[in-house]
Structure 1
């Protein structure tokens, strides 16, 4: 009996030691994983409230969150002193959403005010063009949209009185409409001036184009960056049916029927009526001479008989 008790105690001790070892291994792995995660994250400044263009970034609008150090973009702020040194607040250059990282490219310098110039990438210029409700796409163009710029001008050469339209610029970003550089609402608003982000040479083209012709903006699909490799000049000769080549094979039968039907009707209407045959009376010379005696024709069914009647005295 005593021997069995000793064996049971020994087994219990072994099981306890194994349980302690397993628990220690589990918690050690958890601690190591937590330490590794803590070493791979960095606390950086993010927006705690929505920030509009031109809004000062103060301490009550900022909080700090942990982000993986390997995936942080350049220009983050790791301390409040880096973000707001000595109380010199920075200003938002574009709309910033809550929990979005605060980057140096989205904010002005220390104590500076918001400026369109701060939004320009290196090598770009801001150029403004005059527009109206039609050339500005009825007010549906908003800041940060991309557009094509068309120019309508007089033709060059012999036919100087004719007008042509060319594609002047493609895939141009809109910086501001009038004095609004942020799309605060989705309601369309007609603007008189559009400010575009262009290269220096393109700014010269816009300046010259406004003097010699009329500029129009064409709204592009968001994210569509591919430019048309070949664009043509549109003239008055192109404002007619079939100016850009023959119709497709699928459209030819329907178009042929549509063209043939009114043409056939016009032919029927314009064609003179076919003359009916006219029976001319036989001339006196061609008529058979009546006999000297009178005759009577008697018709019985299909049988015709002539009876001669002599005149008196004959």
Structure 2
């Protein structure tokens, strides 16, 4: 009987020791977890903007401040003191919103100036082309947009006249750096400019300069997520439809048909058909009716 009691007592002590060990392990794990969470949530101070910055805004002690930031999520290039951020007269090279961290990649170096050249990648160039309300997409092209550039010019050849035009794509997927002298990507209100500055390589810059000398350039706004290129088709008047229609010369005094000139190349001139379509032209108060001849006899 006594041996049995000793066995039960020993077993109870053993179970108690296991329970103590498990409890200690649990609380030790909790403490370690809490220490890790405290380290992760530890706050440091970094420099942030207190107002919206535009391209060229200088950093001063009045428009930036120190703010607490989680230590494990401090962005690369952040400044940790106002003195460091303002040293040498740094200026913004990109738009910065209020409350956003000031990063070295978004400001100039010490003694730097806000110039367009300072934000260009080393291998690329900035080139300007003339635009107007039509070629500039009604003023909706802004800095930061992506466009295609079209060239409209006369078709080469001795037989081509003023109406023989063609349009082809010069460059695709080109970044707009500025409209006139506005390089603010946050400016979204439509504004008609006279000059668009585009970012391209040296070959693209040469194409744009030459194209501007031999024809008129137009911008085509595209979705910034659309990276597809390869639109090399050239468009001529024959691609617009209606190439078989023409109106022969008429005697303006009698209002009757004069000797019809030879039809344009590739157009079949049909005999007079009174039931065909006509058009009326009013000169002063006198209307004159002309027959409109069409290709194919329909």
Regarding TM over 0.5, the answer is yes
State whether residues 45 and 66 of structure 2, in contact with CA within 8 Å, keep that contact through their aligned partners in structure 1: no
Give the Å deviation of 1:215: 0.3
Residues 1-314 of structure 1: pairs in structure 2 closer than 5 A: 25=28, 28-29=31-32, 31-37=34-40, 43-60=45-62, 61-67=64-70, 69=72, 74-85=76-87, 88-157=88-157, 159-161=159-161, 162-183=164-185, 185-227=187-229, 229-240=230-241
Query: Secondary structure in 1 aligned to 2:142?
Result: coil
Distance in 2 between residues matched to 1:175 and 1:151, nearest whole Å: 20
Give the Å deviation of 1:194: 0.6
Query: Secondary structure in 1 aligned to 2:211?
Result: helix
Using the size of structure 2 for normalisation, the TM-score is: 0.66
State whether residues 46 and 65 of structure 1, in contact with CA within 8 Å, keep that contact through their aligned partners in structure 2: no
Structure 1 residues 73 and 23: CA distance shift in structure 2, 3 A: closer
Indicate the RMSD between aligned Cα atoms, in angstroms: 3.5
Give the Å deviation of 1:28: 2.5
Give the Å deviation of 1:200: 0.6
Distance in 2 between residues matched to 1:84 and 1:186, nearest whole Å: 29
Using the size of structure 1 for normalisation, the TM-score is: 0.63
Structure 1 residues 242 and 27: CA distance shift in structure 2, 3 A: farther
For structure 1, which runs of at least 5 residues remain unmatched after alignment?
Answer: 1-13, 244-266, 271-314
Distance in 2 between residues matched to 1:97 and 1:111, nearest whole Å: 23
1:278 aligned residue: none
State whether residues 90 and 111 of structure 1, in contact with CA within 8 Å, keep that contact through their aligned partners in structure 2: yes
Q: Give a deviation string over 1:168-205, Cα, whole Å, max 9, x none.
A: 00011111111111145432111111111111111111
Q: Give a deviation string over 1:109-162, Cα, whole Å, max 9, x none.
A: 213221111121121111000111100111111111010000011223464432
Distance in 1 between residues matched to 2:78 and 2:159, nearest whole Å: 60
Query: Secondary structure in 1 aligned to 2:206?
Result: helix
Give the Å deviation of 1:231: 2.4
Query: Secondary structure in 1 aligned to 2:183?
Result: coil
State whether residues 49 and 62 of structure 1, in contact with CA within 8 Å, keep that contact through their aligned partners in structure 2: no
Give the Å deviation of 1:26: 7.1
State whether residues 66 and 80 of structure 2, in contact with CA within 8 Å, keep that contact through their aligned partners in structure 1: no
State whether residues 90 and 112 of structure 1, in contact with CA within 8 Å, keep that contact through their aligned partners in structure 2: yes
Query: Secondary structure in 2 aligned to 1:56?
Result: coil
Larger Rg: 1
For structure 2, which runs of at least 5 residues remain unmatched after alignment?
Answer: 1-15, 245-272, 277-298
Would you say how many aligned residue pairs link Structure 1 and Structure 2? 232
Give the Å deviation of 1:206: 0.8
State whether residues 89 and 110 of structure 1, in contact with CA within 8 Å, keep that contact through their aligned partners in structure 2: yes
